[in-house]
């Protein structure tokens, strides 16, 4: 991406902050394209020990898309968009892979099948996505917090600035949201519950 | 309570109890929320999942599985993965079998019902392929698909997906990488060499079809369960190369260009031309590894500078010096025995393949394989320790060159090239199409050199070398018919040789030969072109002192000349002549003489009594006779060569100066110094007129003249000449050229003769310093410089210094020359004299 795109992105960000939904849609599609391009470019120069991280990609897409001199809040907003986009990408992919499993023959060995016991990372992503959506419906702020942290890789300070809350709040939000998600995604037995009835 | 309200309550309770112990939590909740067991349970279980608070939001645990998941999502075009059942061309995807640096690999089977076939279907990932890769794929696929060899995984099919990503279907090979397979089976050195030879066969086969692998490494050689090695991914690296439009490569581009740094060759790392020699190097790396157990090149970090340092500059250690106990046991032997087996010949073979300069490696994979076979049969191998930095130019007499283009104007260059291409047309079939091709070659070359003409194309003046470099570059990107390319390559290659720079000529001439082979395979009537290319390559090898190779090539050329239909006695005679030159350089003068004689007959029969080739054969014969018989036996031959040459049109008298010079040497040998001097002056005038005052041919004559003058006792005169010659040698060859040391020694000698010992001493020291610096420690020329100084010191009465110098000279001479050689014995004699002079 050349830098001539960055004033446009900045403008979209500002419009979005000003409340324009259309700006958000455009932003998302630009970011999506950019993330794919970044991933492809990173893979092109992949060295044997290179590992991709979702959060690294988001940062890289930011650098490429946006002028670094834009106001700090806009940067955070960019990440908010990018995180959500990243989540969408992963979920789309997971769905496709799950369909694959049901479709033709058994999918062969891939590099990351050891992530989960049942052997499919796609299932975990989808479960996470679903649980996260449920969390967001009860507590939107926690939902966005998790998205920014997990998919965008922002730290507590940055999250606080995006959402307009104190760092301590962010930390407490994350702690509870994580506990809740873990419970949702596990089989329900807590690791450190005392024996006996509550 | 609404959901939200309840949630808020859970949250506040959660934060109250989360840092308490599980028992304390229960107690607290019972106390503070007595009315709602469900709520208590909810909070309790949540707190149970909260961990101990140390896992805060910035803790690594958040990174958890997500990077892996993201990698899965983005990996190798995973977003657009193929699924089992998908159809690609006439193939059906069965399942994914792996992911590599290039993309994803699937197992696929043929789906058009015609026959059962399985393939490894590779989809090249989006980032790796350029926009027009699919188009280039189609063009190259024909060539790759034509690679049929039991040790090559065949390219079966290929195409492009809808989204533009290219795919290839390769013969599915179920096997282990070569080094792993050898280790698993505990193969010894002999067994490994046997497997390796099969790999060499595969690569050599591809080279004959003009395909360079470019990415040979253990992972690309799979050994099946039956023990058959199969080479994968031929030429694919080239298909994936981004096409650069002449810009200087940036750092990133270099990364992209080099598929696997640890198995890259110096020319790949530097972004230079990749040729068959590159595969030789890679095979050398492979051999190194399967023999010694470790990689030859260790590239730990991937910064450009480090890769360059390791690959382009660091000399590899001998395989025998890298043996470890683990490696030995994986080869079913002990470290001691393994080192002993590898030491010597196998070491040298590997290191020869791993020379940094492409032209100093084995000239072909076949040559490498041949040497290994010789090793296997206990025969002497051709690989040698790297020694001479300077080839035996000085010890060989000057020979006749078809072209000499040093320091001439572009117009003269054109004239010379025109002569050459005229020859091309004359010697090949007279079919019109051949003549047309010769014209194409000529006009291409003309266009190149016109660029150098300051009138036609203003700009900084180009040296002849620059012109040729440009020409070579142009050819690389020219889209010409193979035969035309071959002709152009030969012309430029010969021109390089004429400049005295055979090294750049090598890849061009080799390519010309390869192209001609292809042409001949398809059209046996065009074999004459192949002969010509072989002849040129052989002559180049001769010039660089690679006598065995020259012999091999000229022998093949000779055989082909004999097989030409219609018969071509001129070609036969030329090859005889050239083999004769090889014999001469090998010191087999009798055989050389016989060959020159036969060649002469052939030339006379095919070209009549007056032709440059006749003069050449006569001059060669004369040299042999000079050496074997001495005296005046060769004189008539020399004179006849000159006569024949003078009968030619002026433009074709290209070697008159050489013949005059040779006659002068002969007369010097007879003691007829005055006549010799006259001839030398005439030779110099001729060379200057034809090739320019600064041409190396003139300089050589100066050197001879100086020697002659010195022999006449005219040290002063000799000094004058040498002082004239030296700066020109330095300018022409560079101040660090060994010839400079040679002439410095000569100058020192004549200065000493005139009674200026201090000056002589410093000149000798300069010569010795230079010789030590630029010549290897087994080069006889170095010994000569040391010896000359030693002799001077001896005569000056400086006995101790003389002994030291002569001892050093002897050491060097013994290393480089066979025992009993006259030079060695001469120094030994001097040393005895020096020791004896001390008395008692």
Q: Considering only B136-150, B367-381, B570-584, B782-796, which range has the smallest mean pLDDT?
A: B136-150
Asked if residue B640 has pLDDT above 90, the reply is yes
Task: Please give, rounded to a whole number of angstroms, the shortest distance from the CA of A22 to a CA of chain B.
Answer: 26
b/e map B806-816, b = 16+ CB within 10 Å:
bebbbebbbeb
Identify the pLDDT of residue B447.
60
Q: What is the pLDDT of residue B800?
A: 92
Query: Poorest-confidence range of A190-194, B183-187, B288-292, B366-370?
Result: A190-194
Q: Best mutation site among A52, A57, A120 for testing chain B: the one with the most B CBs within 10 Å? A: A52
Q: Which two tokens stand for residue A59?
A: 């940062």
Please tell me the predicted confidence (pLDDT) of residue B288: 96
- Contact residues, chain A, for B4 at CB < 8 Å: 138-139
B48 vs A43, A172, A192: nearest CB: A192
Q: How far apart are CA B508 and CA B475, in angstroms?
A: 9
* A170: chain B residues, CB-CB within 8 Å: 57
Does the pLDDT value for residue B242 go beyond 80? no
* Span B383-415, pLDDT tens digits: 776 533 222 222 222 333 322 222 333 334 444
Over residues B657-672, mean pLDDT: 85
A49 versus B422: the higher-pLDDT residue is B422
> In this complex, do A40 and B127 lie within 8 Å of one another by their Cβ atoms?
yes
Q: Between residues B565 and B434, which one has the greater pLDDT?
A: B565
What pLDDT does B222 receive? 93
How many inter-chain contacts (A to B, CB under 8 Å) are there? 186
Q: Which residues of B touch A53 (CB under 8 A)?
A: 63, 66-67, 70-71
Other Cβ atoms less than 10 A from the Cβ of B27: the count is 13
First to last CA, chain B: 124
Residues 6+ apart with CB under 8 A from A25: none
The CA distance from B84 to the nearest CA of chain A, in Å, is 5
**Which of A119, A152, A179, A189 to probe by mutation at the B interface, max B CB count within 10 Å?**
A179
* pLDDT-based confidence at residue B625 (cuts at 50, 70, 90): confident
Cα–Cα distance for residue pair A133/A123, rounded to 1 Å: 15
Beta bridge partners of residue B103, listed in sequence order: B124
Interval B118-176: pLDDT, tens: 888 888 765 444 455 556 666 667 777 778 899 998 888 888 776 666 788 888 888 89
Is A111 close to B99, i.e. CB distance below 8 A?
Answer: yes
The arithmetic mean of pLDDT across residues A160-182, rounded, is 87
- CA distance, residue B201 to nearest chain A CA (Å): 30
> pLDDT band at residue B418, thresholds of 50, 70 and 90?
very low
CB–CB of A160/A166 below 8 Å? yes
Q: Which residue has the higher pLDDT, B179 or A50?
A: B179
Distance from CA of A163 to the nearest CA of B (A): 16
pLDDT tier for residue B558 given thresholds of 50, 70 and 90: very high
- How large is the average pLDDT for residues A123-146? 85
ipTM attached to this prediction: 0.71
Q: What's the length of chain B? A: 840
Distance from CA of B70 to the nearest CA of A (A): 5
Name the residue among B55, B71, B84 with its Cβ closest to that of A52.
Answer: B71
Contacts with B252 from chain A: Cβ below 8 Å: 45
8 A C-beta contact, residue B774 and residue B755: no
Catalytic residues of B: 215
**What pLDDT sits at residue B515?**
84
Q: Which is more confidently placed, B2 or B770?
A: B770
More confident residue, B752 or B467: B752
CB contacts, 8 Å: A50 with chain B: none
Residue in chain A nearest B253 by alpha carbon: A45
Neighbour order of strands in the sheet with B87-88: B87-88, B91-99, B103-110, B118-124, B166-171, B155-160
Indicate yes or no: CB of B72 within 8 angstroms of CB of A110.
yes
Q: Which residue has the higher pLDDT, B783 or A51?
A: B783
- pLDDT per residue as tens digits for the range B33-65: 999 999 999 999 888 887 655 444 444 444 444
pLDDT of the residue at B837? 58
Pick the residue from chain B with its C-alpha nearest to A136.
B4
Spatial contact of A181 and B20, defined as CB atoms under 8 Å apart: no
- Nearest by CB to B67, which of A39, A54, A174? A54
Mutate to test the interface with A, among B16, B65, B66 (most CBs of A within 10 A): B66
Residue B835 pLDDT: 81
CB atoms within 10 A of CB B289: 25
**Contact yes or no for B73 and A90 at CB 8 A:** yes
Given an 8 Å threshold on Cβ–Cβ distance, is A194 in contact with B46? no
Model confidence at B107: pLDDT above 80: yes
Least CB–CB distance from A90: residue in B3, B55, B70: B70
Q: What is the reported pLDDT for B245? A: 38
- Are the beta carbons of A124 and B65 separated by less than 8 Å? yes
**B483 pLDDT more than 80:** no
pLDDT of residue B253: 41
Q: Quick: pLDDT tens for B63-87.
A: 444 444 454 444 433 445 677 788 8
- Considering only CB atoms, B46 lies closest to which of A51, A104, A179, namely A179
Instruction: Tell me what pLDDT residue B553 has.
Output: 94
Highest mean pLDDT among B86-100, B243-257, B259-273, B554-568: B554-568
- Cβ–Cβ below 8 Å for A41 and B65: no
Chain B environment of A172 (Cβ under 8 Å):
15
C-beta atoms of A86 and B66 within 8 A: no
Task: Pick from B25-29, B426-430, B619-623 the range whose average pLDDT is largest.
Answer: B25-29
CB atoms A121 and B72 under 8 Å? yes
Question: Which helix (DSSP H) or strand (DSSP E) does residue A155 occupy?
Answer: none
pLDDT band at B382 (very low <50, low <70, confident <90, very high): confident
**What distance in Å separates residue A75's CA from the closest CA in chain B?**
20
**Residue among B389, B661, B353 nearest B544 (CA):** B389
Q: Which two tokens stand for residue B613?
A: 């080739």
Kindly indicate the confidence band of residue B472, based on its pLDDT and cuts at 50, 70 and 90.
confident
Contact residues on chain A for B101, CB-CB shorter than 8 A: 46, 48
Residue B671 burial (C-beta neighbours within 10 Å; 0-12, 13-18, 19+): exposed
Mean pLDDT score of chain B: 77
Instruction: In whole angstroms, give the CA distance from residue A104 to residue B71.
Output: 24
Between B666 and B420, residue with greater pLDDT? B666
Distance from CA of B271 to the nearest CA of A (A): 17
């Amino acid at each position: 991406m050349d830098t001539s795109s960055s004033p446009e992105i900045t403008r979209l960000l500002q419009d979005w902050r000003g409340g324009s939904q259309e700006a958000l849609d455009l932003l998302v599609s630009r970011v999506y394209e950019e993330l794919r391009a970044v991933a492809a470019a990173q893979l092109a120069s992949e060295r044997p020990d290179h590992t991709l991280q979702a959060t690294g990609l988001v940062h890289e897409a930011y650098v490429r898309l946006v002028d670094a001199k834009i106001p700090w809040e806009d940067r955070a907003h960019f990440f908010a968009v990018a995180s959500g986009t990243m989540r969408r990408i992963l979920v789309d992919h997971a769905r496709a892979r799950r369909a694959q499993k049901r479709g033709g023959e058994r999918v062969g060995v891939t590099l990351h099948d050891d992530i989960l016991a049942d052997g499919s990372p796609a299932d975990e992503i989808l479960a996470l996505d679903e649980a996260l959506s449920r969390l967001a419906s009860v507590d939107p702020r926690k939902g966005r917090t998790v998205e920014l942290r997990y998919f965008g890789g922002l730290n507590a300070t940055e999250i606080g600035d995006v959402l307009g809350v104190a760092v301590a709040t962010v930390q407490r939000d994350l702690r509870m949201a994580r506990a809740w998600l873990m419970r949702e995604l596990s089989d329900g037995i807590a690791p450190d519950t005392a024996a006996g009835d509550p | 309570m609404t959901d939200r309200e309840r949630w808020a309550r859970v949250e506040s309770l959660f934060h109250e109890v989360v840092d308490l112990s599980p028992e304390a939590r229960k107690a607290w909740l019972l106390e503070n929320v007595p009315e709602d067991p469900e709520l208590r349970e909810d909070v309790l279980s949540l707190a149970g999942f909260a961990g101990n608070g140390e896992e805060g939001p910035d803790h690594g645990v958040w990174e958890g599985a997500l990077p892996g998941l993201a990698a899965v999502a983005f990996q190798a075009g995973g977003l657009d993965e193929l699924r089992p059942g998908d159809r690609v061309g006439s193939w059906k995807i069965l399942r994914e079998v792996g992911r590599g640096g290039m993309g994803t690999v699937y197992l696929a089977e043929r789906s058009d019902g015609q026959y059962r076939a399985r393939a490894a279907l590779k989809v090249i990932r989006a980032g790796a392929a350029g926009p027009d890769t699919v188009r280039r794929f189609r063009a190259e696929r024909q060539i790759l698909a034509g690679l049929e060899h039991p040790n090559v995984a065949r390219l079966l099919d290929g195409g492009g997906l809808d989204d533009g990503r290219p795919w290839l279907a390769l013969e599915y090979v179920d096997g282990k990488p070569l080094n792993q397979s050898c280790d698993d089976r505990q193969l010894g050195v002999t067994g490994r060499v046997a497997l390796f030879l099969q790999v060499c066969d595969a690569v050599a086969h591809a080279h004959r079809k003009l395909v360079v692998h470019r990415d040979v490494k253990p992972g690309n050689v799979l050994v099946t369960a039956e023990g058959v090695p199969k080479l994968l991914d031929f030429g694919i690296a080239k298909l994936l190369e981004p096409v650069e439009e002449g810009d200087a490569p940036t750092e990133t581009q270099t990364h992209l260009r080099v598929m696997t740094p640890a198995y890259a060759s110096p020319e790949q790392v530097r972004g230079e031309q990749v040729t068959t020699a590159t595969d030789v190097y890679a095979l050398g790396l492979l051999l190194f590894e399967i023999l010694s157990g470790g990689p030859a090149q260790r590239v730990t970090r991937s910064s450009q500078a480090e890769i360059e340092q390791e690959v382009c500059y660091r000399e590899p250690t001998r395989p025998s010096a890298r043996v470890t106990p683990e490696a030995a046991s994986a080869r079913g032997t002990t470290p001691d025995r393994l080192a002993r087996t590898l030491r010597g010949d196998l070491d040298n073979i590997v290191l020869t393949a791993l020379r940094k300069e492409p032209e100093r490696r084995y000239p072909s994979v076949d040559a490498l394989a041949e040497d290994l076979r010789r090793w296997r049969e206990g025969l002497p191998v051709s690989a040698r320790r790297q020694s001479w930095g300077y080839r035996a130019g000085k010890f060989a007499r000057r020979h006749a060159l078809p072209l000499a283009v040093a320091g001439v104007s572009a117009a003269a260059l054109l004239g010379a090239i025109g002569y050459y291409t005229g020859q091309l047309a004359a010697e090949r079939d007279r079919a019109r199409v051949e003549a047309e091709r010769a014209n194409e070659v000529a006009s291409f070359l003309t266009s190149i050199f016109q660029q150098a003409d300051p009138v036609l194309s203003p700009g900084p003046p180009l040296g002849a070398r620059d012109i040729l470099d440009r020409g070579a570059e142009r050819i690389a990107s020219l889209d010409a018919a193979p035969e035309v390319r071959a002709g152009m390559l030969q012309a430029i290659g010969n021109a390089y040789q004429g400049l005295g720079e055979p090294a750049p000529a090598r890849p061009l001439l080799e390519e010309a030969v390869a192209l001609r082979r292809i042409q001949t395979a398809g059209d046996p009537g065009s074999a004459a072109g192949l002969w010509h290319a072989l002849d040129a390559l052989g002559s180049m090898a001769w010039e660089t002192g690679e006598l065995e190779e020259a012999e091999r090539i000229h022998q093949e050329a000779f055989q082909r000349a004999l097989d030409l239909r219609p018969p071509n006695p001129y070609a036969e005679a030329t090859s005889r002549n050239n083999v004769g030159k090889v014999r001469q350089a090998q010191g087999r003068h009798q055989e050389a003489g016989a060959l020159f004689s036969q060649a002469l007959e052939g030339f006379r029969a095919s070209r009549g009594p007056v032709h440059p080739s006749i003069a050449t054969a006569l001059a060669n014969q004369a040299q042999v006779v000079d050496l074997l018989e001495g005296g005046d036996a060769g004189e008539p031959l020399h004179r006849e060569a000159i006569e024949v040459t003078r009968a030619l049109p002026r433009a074709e008298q290209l070697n008159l100066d050489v013949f005059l010079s040779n006659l002068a040497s002969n007369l010097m040998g007879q003691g007829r110094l005055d006549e010799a001097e006259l001839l030398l002056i005439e030779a110099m005038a001729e060379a200057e007129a034809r090739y320019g005052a600064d041409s190396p041919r003139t300089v050589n004559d100066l050197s001879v003249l100086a020697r002659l003058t010195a022999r006449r006792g005219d040290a002063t005169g000799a000094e004058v000449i040498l002082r004239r010659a030296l700066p020109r040698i330095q300018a022409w060859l560079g101040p660090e050229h060994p010839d400079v040391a040679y002439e410095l020694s000569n100058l020192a000698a004549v200065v000493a003769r005139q009674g200026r010992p201090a000056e002589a001493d410093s000149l000798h020291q300069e010569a010795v310093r230079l010789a030590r610096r630029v010549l290897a420690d087994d080069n006889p020329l170095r010994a000569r410089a040391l010896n000359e100084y030693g002799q001077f010191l001896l005569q000056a009465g400086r006995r101790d210094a003389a002994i030291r110098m002569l001892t050093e000279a002897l050491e060097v001479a013994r290393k480089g020359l066979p025992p009993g050689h006259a030079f060695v014995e001469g120094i030994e004699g001097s040393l005895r004299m020096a020791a004896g002079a001390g008395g008692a």
